Structure 1
Amino acid sequence: MKRLSNFFSELVRYDAKPFERSKFLARHRTATENLFTSESFEESYRLCCICLDFIWERLHSGHWNQIEFFWREIYSYFSALAAVSLFNAEGNLSECIKLIDYGLIMGIDINCILTRLAQQLHDEIPKSSLLQICDVKTDTDFQQQDSSIPFDKETISIYSDPDCECFLKEIGKELPFKIEGGVNHWPAAEKWSVNYILKQCAHRHVPVEIGSKYSDETWTQEIMPIYKFVQTYFDPKQSTKGYLAQHDFLGQVPLLKEDIVIPDYCFMTPELEGERQKGEVVVNSWFGPAGTVSPLHQDPRRNLLCQVFGRKLLILVPASDSAFVYPASEDPLLLNTSQVDVENVDSDKFPLFGKATQITAILNPGDMVYIPPKCWHYVKSLDPSFSVSFWFD
């Protein structure tokens, strides 16, 4: 790969403005680039790691939303330079990819350098190594039916390819509804499976939520390679759940993003009142084994939840019934989450929940469900599953 010199050249040309905020890191940027140019790759890598450790502490010095953005930019820069230096020093592909993925997860994709670099490095991994990982199990080995959830039939309104007029009429009701086969035209609907994801991304690192649901005290997160995530948490014998949830995985791996299409419905809504501006469509991925749960919660924007493979059960409560769902008011981070376990409702503790309108839906491969803003929804995977959500205004 010619020592990845093209990526190094792009990094050297990267705008230095973020480094104006830290003279310490600006000096280290110059030093690492000079070391690389003189082919002192091990020293360049070592110095990059010192900078990454320093920035890591700053990134974890408070609430994520309060961290100044320039720290994320600089973290991504040194992640990319560390990977290029390490590749030239040792050729350790897996560790180089890990460095890049940490840069993407904790930082940003500088001029698309990091996503392109990660893909090129992953493409260099011998196919025999990928096949050995992927052939450990087939998709049928991951199947795990979950019949413990009480539901008789779907009560959600169902449509097939609604036109703009029908879609706008339905969203005006502020109730959820399902569009059957709404994403059957995606290349992902035909191509994707657990093994396909492994073959494309086995050594890519992603943040995995560990625990039955994020509202539990024992819940935690860990960044790990996709193959470890699948081998560990997709095993039907594994009692602990692992979930790649609400993560911009497709932005991290543009090769997969090419297989999905932002639904036209995301651009059909009327203009917002007053001077409020519509935000960008936010795309997130949800990938995990059977039994993963998102507890009953609400989101601030419209949502189209689209199913690529596997099935999911949804239980939805309209925003108009919010008085009956008991949000977790004692924890500021869980104000959008209900205290009620919809599978095992404690009627003595939550007596009003029985008054809430519960709408049930089964999200099959190719389907999408429209979820209005502030509509409460509980989601459980019935099979190994990959979903894509689109938040829009």
Structure 2
Amino acid sequence: MSAREEIFDKIGKFRTSVISALTEIAELDVTCKSIIEQHLNDSNSLNSKSILKIQAVIDYMYEQVNIGNWKEVRLYLRKTLTVATYLRLKAHLKFNEILSDDIIKEALRIIDFGILFGCPLDAEPNLLQLCASCLHSFVKHDVQHGVDTKVVLKSESQSKSSPYNCKVLDILDCPSMEHFFRNYILAEKPVVLDNCLSHWPALTKWQDQSYFIKLAGLRTVSIELGKDYTDSNWTQKLMTLEDFIKNHIYNENGTTGYLAQYQLFDQIPELRKDIIEPEYCCFSETNDPVDVMAWYGPKGTVSPLHHDPKKNLLAQVVGEKLVFIFSPQDSEFLYPHEHELLNNTARIDPRTPNFEKFPKYKDANGYYCMLKAGQMLYIPPKWWHFVESQSVSFSVSFWWE
């Protein structure tokens, strides 16, 4: 059995689950539904013309899910995109007999498009991720940068003069669950936690950026381009993780690129094996799963002063970040944007506050810390925080109610 046939056979084993998921897209129009049902129920019906028909369904679903507010998109449309992506992947592998690097790269691009714009099926929530795993063992690794891919911190990042109007945040050495809950969760008080991540494989593996290229360099991700999300030139672009690392992590002269607030570990489960959900996240008021987000970028990436509705443990894995944090009681001194889309973001830059323009800021009582690799910062709900990377940085945030 050839490599292509082996992969095609592995992916084909998910067919039964996908067929059972047809009930989840029952609202689909007759034309699209007939195309999907035909090729799912009869594998022999896949031919060269099938690719065009299936791609047409994908393109139509993509148009539909991008109309209006993303949160209001009907789930059956995104689920249809997932099912159609599965069929598109099968057709791609069936009609490319030689499993070249380009064929694998295109197969992973097809999968990632489906993950980014589709959504999990009840019948097989990890369908496309499992398909990607079938391909990973056949990816050839060729990492050549011409630069040192390991993160090296310069001595000046270790010392920082006390920023105006802010106190140094307390650091706790791996507190007990009871102590953390009573004095920080209940009290809604921020704190830096030390020596809580020493058991994470990521602390050593992720120091060398070539690790990401070897593991997932061909995977497509969404990258933020620009100074920060309040900038008029800010935009987003799809690119492979390898292109992001080569063109943005190691290119200080180009446009700032940031993989920010990104569900990377849902898309690439192999990376999730390198991290462990902190036990402190168990203090939840709901049964909802913890939201795990990745923040990966070069020196100088910035998250403007903003607040989030959930509890947040920000784990620093690679590099260092300067973080300023303010109580919700200081909101009036931080000059939040008045626009509805930015009302959780403030106009103050705590690194260089403009007191002539924002005179009330002098009454704010902020804190700051230099968050180092191996440390976590607990940010209570609605607390304002500003974050700046001092080096190549990879952080993982855990959000829960």
TM-score by length of structure 2 reads 0.89
Residue in structure 2 matched with residue 376 of structure 1 by the alignment? 384
| Distance in 2 separating the partners of 1:237 and 1:255 | 29
* Bigger mean CA offset, 296-305 vs 67-76: 67-76
* Bigger mean CA offset, 106-115 vs 226-235: 106-115
The answer to whether 1:71 aligns with 2:98 is no
Residue in structure 2 matched with residue 200 of structure 1 by the alignment? 215
| Shift, 1:324, TM fit | 1.0
| Distance in 2 separating the partners of 1:212 and 1:137 | 24
| Runs of 5+ consecutive residues of structure 1 not aligned to the other structure | none
Distance 1:141 1:373, change over 3 A: closer
| Distance in 1 separating the partners of 2:152 and 2:333 | 37
Contact 2:321 2:371 in 1 (8 A): yes
Runs (4 or more) in structure 1 with deviation over 6 Å come to 141-147
The answer to whether 1:288 aligns with 2:297 is yes
| Shift, 1:43, TM fit | 2.4
Match of 1:268 among 283, 286, 308: 283
Residue in structure 2 matched with residue 25 of structure 1 by the alignment? 32
SS of 1:16's equivalent in the other structure is helix
Distance 1:63 1:134, change over 3 A: farther
* Bigger mean CA offset, 17-26 vs 178-187: 17-26
Residue in structure 2 matched with residue 105 of structure 1 by the alignment? 116
* Bigger mean CA offset, 96-105 vs 165-174: 165-174
1:117-142 deviation per Cα after TM superposition (whole angstroms, max 9, x unaligned): 1122232122xxx22x3544322488
1:59-113 deviation per Cα after TM superposition (whole angstroms, max 9, x unaligned): 1111100111111111111112212211221241111101101111112244122
1:223-261 deviation per Cα after TM superposition (whole angstroms, max 9, x unaligned): 110011011111243241101111110111111111111
Please tell me the root mean square deviation across aligned C-alpha atoms, in Å. 2.2
| Distance in 2 separating the partners of 1:96 and 1:341 | 43
Contact 2:10 2:134 in 1 (8 A): no
| Shift, 1:297, TM fit | 0.3
Distance 1:145 1:278, change over 3 A: farther
Residue in structure 2 matched with residue 84 of structure 1 by the alignment? 90
| Distance in 2 separating the partners of 1:338 and 1:87 | 49
| Shift, 1:6, TM fit | 3.6
Match of 2:329 among 320, 323, 342: 320
* Bigger mean CA offset, 56-65 vs 190-199: 190-199
Query: Within 5 Å, which residues of 2 pair with 1:1-393?
Result: 1=3, 2=5, 4-14=8-18, 15-22=21-28, 23-33=30-40, 36-40=43-47, 42-90=48-96, 91=99, 92-110=103-121, 111=124, 112-126=126-140, 130-131=141-142, 133-140=143-150, 151-152=161-162, 155-168=168-181, 169-193=183-207, 194-268=209-283, 272=285, 277-330=286-339, 332-393=340-401
Using the aligned pairs only, state the percent identity: 30
Contact 2:319 2:373 in 1 (8 A): yes
Distance 1:293 1:146, change over 3 A: farther
TM-score by length of structure 1 reads 0.90
Contact 1:314 1:362 in 2 (8 A): yes
